Chains A and B, each alone.
Chain A
């Protein structure tokens, strides 16, 4: 049984290290997904938690100030002004009307300060889930 003891010790050691690494990293690198409505209800917590907020980019709201970019996210008629300060260029899909996700923190000035933006273009023909496919019918039926 002694040799199995050695295996057990090694396995526990390896898994223990991994769990320790994983758990230690959780705190620093987690970001909460919030809707704009939920963001408004978070109170003071909103200012010191890393957040991810998604919405559509309001048409004509994109403004460039040097390296920074400001725009407005809209979700269910709620608006949020976002300022982007990242080093990376904005994604190719970032434009009026696209769906975007901002990763950052809420500022006390009421503007969301993002260090990362992801964007996805809303395709002309592709329907969102649950949305009734208007004007299309299945062939042969």
Chain B
């Protein structure tokens, strides 16, 4: 079995090298059969990597503890779901998972484009297979998941495994890595198309139309991955936070920021033929940041609470990044003439300019996060000392950035292309602006003094109203014309231009999430050592320890507290925070008691240590809105992905002297 798995990975690696050579040679020498054979190699690689993964998963599920990987990341008592999730729970497995996803994506790309884009497809295949070859190289020679445990030269099985890290034995955590990886890996495809069109100097923006939807899907996966990670941190880590500017969290945020920038600036290229170089840079940066993200997560170069793995794969990643970035920079510089802009910026108050600033801010924030994350490495190489920056630094910088972005979210979509008249500004922003000012005044009167919180609530209301007014105006027009009710009309409106109104929904999701983030300014907490019968006060809540129990299961032992919650004397029910101690990995884990409400969450963590019981209780105002906002964001993205009822040709603004500048919408 294990030999078959290893052989499959090895063969896949050879095939990926062959696919690169065959598709490039086939393209240059004009030999279609070579190109086709390279594409068949792509399918074969997918089959082989699937086989290898299947063998590993089989070993995990059946508990074949001869495998070093299985012994390290699984044990008999673990539920089947987590045995399966152990596939991506450790270094070797997760890199195999990466390879498998990429092979799957590549097979889909080759299949869906088997009759399209024939001039660039050989290069697309070659670039995808270049990335594939790198990961298969790691799978085969550096961190093979098919290493056996041996005693005195004889392969030996252990009686039982180490178990998956209990912090990872959590439902959101089982699906968080696949989501994030789907995002990370998916960005190889837009990158491959962008580079292939540069290589061939393909006229027009065909690559953008082919990859726009792809980029959006990838972005959706990435968003889900990040948000699930936040949700997991909130539920599983017991400190009540959802984001701590940890290097691994930051690594997942970096490509998300550049991808968001790309999704906006790509509209400039579609509609006006502007920012072409910039888009190339964004696609390439996103891809390389995805690789960097995998590298930071997997190499433990920056010590992090998340660093579940540490290894010497670092130099392979650094070489891959260096070669890739150098080649991309050279390619872009060499083809600058092909990337000439077709129109110019006209006014500071215009859609173009709002996109420009949105991009500036997103990329600046990406750079800031990158700087902060890599600072230990940067300072070590320039100052000789490893220096870390703590979350306060990130907050100091990212809160104003976030608020400015929030503001742009509101105004940007309402600016007209080219320039916006004062009259239209007044018409669009008068009421939302006024309402925001009233809200801020009311909050000040109610005693809220936190500057950023006031600004944030004001902007949230402002942006939410501008979006609602947009929906209302459009729906009312349709309702009047077709004699339907407003709700049907709103549906019809969205259906007619899913991209635009889906985009608004995504913005709405972001606004709701900001409401949730802002709640953090008003968190309350208390920590106390407790015995049965004790009561702990927190704000208007009173927490009474009614009972403390303990018990034992096959996988872990547990301590549980029964906490009676009352608010202002009124009984609200009980919470049962639990502390588990996993036997296989000899590690503890808290299962918090949570009372989620739309206005605030009551969050109770229970720790038993050395016979002492400690209760930690927190009140987190508005946190639920982050998760609600996430759902709205996902829904909005799905709407934007759905095809519009009306197919439209995006006619470019006329540019004198340039012909054939109509961008066809993808078929």
Contact = CB atoms under 8 A, between A and B. Distances in A.
A140 interface: yes
Interface on chain A toward B: helix, strand, loop, or mixed SS?
A: mixed
A64 interface: yes
Interface stretch (B31-39, B105-113, B342-350, B442-450): B342-350
Given A21-B400, A136-B148, A139-B2, A120 B307 contact: yes
A6 B345 CA distance: 11
Interface in A116-141: 118, 120-121, 123-126, 128-130, 133, 135-141
Contacts of A64: 609-610, 612
Interface string A22-43: 1011101111110000000000
B534 interface: no
Given A14-B360, A135-B149, A128 B388 contact: no
B348 A6 contact: yes
Contacts, number: 159
Contact of B393 (A10, A26, A67): A26
B619 interface: no
A97 B92 CA distance: 25
Contacts of A24: 396
Nearest to A31: B388
B413 interface: no
A125 B71 contact: yes
Interface residues of A, number: 54
A89 B2 CA distance: 43
B558 to A, nearest CB: 13
A77 interface: no
A29 B614 contact: no
A69 to B, nearest CB: 9
A14 B361 contact: yes
B389 interface: yes
A10 B400 CA distance: 16
A29 B389 contact: yes
Interface stretch (B13-21, B275-283, B586-594): B586-594
A137 B527 contact: no
A126 B5 CA distance: 21
Given A3-B345, A22-B368, A29-B390, A92 B397 contact: no
A140 B357 CA distance: 56
Contacts of A87: 525, 527
A137 to B, nearest CB: 5
A120 B389 CA distance: 20
Q: Which of B166, B376, B401, B587 has most chain A Cβ within 10 Å?
A: B587
Given A67-B527, A92-B589, 5 more contacts: A3-B347, A15-B364, A92-B166, A137-B150, A140-B3
28 contacts: A3-B345, A7-B353, A18-B401, A21-B396, A21-B397, A24-B396, A29-B392, A29-B396, A30-B388, A30-B389, A32-B385, A33-B385, A64-B609, A90-B609, A92-B167, A92-B588, A95-B586, A95-B588, A125-B72, A126-B309, A128-B310, A129-B312, A136-B147, A138-B144, A139-B5, A139-B146, A139-B148, A140-B3
Interface of A: 3-4, 6-7, 10-11, 14-15, 17-18, 21-22, 24-26, 28-33, 52, 54, 64, 66-67, 87-93, 95, 101, 103, 118, 120-121, 123-126, 128-130, 133, 135-141
